[in-house]
Amino acid sequence: MSRKFFVGGNWKANPTTVKETNELIELLNKAKITANVETVICTPFIYLSLVKSKLRSDFAVGAENVFNKDKGAYTGEITPPMIKDLGVTWTIIGHSERRDILKEDDTFLASKATEALKAGLKIIYCCGEHLEERKAKKEKDFVSAQIDKLIPAISADKWDSVVIAYEPIWAIGTGVVASTADAQEMGKTIRELIAAKVNPGVAAKLRILYGGSVKSDNCKDLAAQPDVDGFLVGGASLTPSFIDIVNSPP
């Protein structure tokens, strides 16, 4: 089963000005993409319209987060229909920074997934263990429990709109990348779980990304792993090396 390689850039709360945002757009607009890759640029809500209007159309645009309701008395929230209406097609859900800093739990995140898919968005759903679970050799149990909570939130006809990003928290923004063997092992574990609990057809088609200190010097080895179907990239998505990562599949 061939799965189209997928690279997501997650700008997080960088940039903080329109000027910086325009500089990032310019960097991407002049990039030479040689590989057959689906690329999605996820930006702060406030810059989504700007990026959507100026970024060349072979890059899709995504939000970094979304609320779990469609509309109503939810002061300050950004709902899936608002994002969809801008022509934005993707959203990240469950990034570890939202799980750990903002205490968003699996139940809340699963409800965001349901609502985003209902509005017609596609989702990059993040999972991944802390160093503590990895040291205790509990990483598979921890990640499996996260995915177990997601599964009932996705109806059978929506799995084509889901990408799962395995992002070990100890690797995010630390410069410590997972070994190719560990990234492959966790990708395989997630795929086997989906095969057992959803069905083998969905598992075979599902794209499973690795995220955590992906850089131009480690992306090729990671991209060669059979259960690494792409990357979610934080820090490097703000630099020219992002293009090397986009061009990394064999």
> Catalytic residue positions?
95, 167
CB nearer to ligand PEP: pick between 116 and 232: 232
Q: How far is the CB of 56 from ligand PEP (least distance, A)?
A: 23
Q: How far is the CB of 97 from ligand PEP (least distance, A)?
A: 7
Assess whether the previous peptide bond of 250 is cis (omega < 30° from 0): no
| Run of H or E residues at 162 | strand 162-166
H helical segments located in 93-178: 96-100, 106-118, 131-135, 139-150
CB nearer to ligand PEP: pick between 39 and 202: 39
Instruction: Return d(Cα 84, Cα 154) in angstroms, integer.
Output: 18
Question: Which of helix, strand or coil describes residue 8?
Answer: strand
Q: With CA atoms as reference, report the closest residue to 62 among 44, 85, 79, 36.
A: 44
Q: How far is the CB of 40 from ligand PEP (least distance, A)?
A: 12
**Footprint on this chain of ligand PEP (rule: CB under 6 A):** 10, 167, 172-173, 211-214, 232-236
Q: Which residues pair with 233 in a beta bridge?
A: 9
CB nearer to ligand PEP: pick between 80 and 128: 128
Joined tokens for residue 99: 């799980």
| Run of H or E residues at 30 | none
Contact status, residue 142 vs residue 191, Cβ threshold 8 Å: no
Q: How far is the CB of 180 from ligand PEP (least distance, A)?
A: 16
Scanning the structure block, which residue is given the tokens 């979304």? 66
In single-letter form, the type of residue at position 225 comes to Q
Q: How far is the CB of 249 from ligand PEP (least distance, A)?
A: 17
CB nearer to ligand PEP: pick between 83 and 177: 177
CB nearer to ligand PEP: pick between 8 and 249: 8
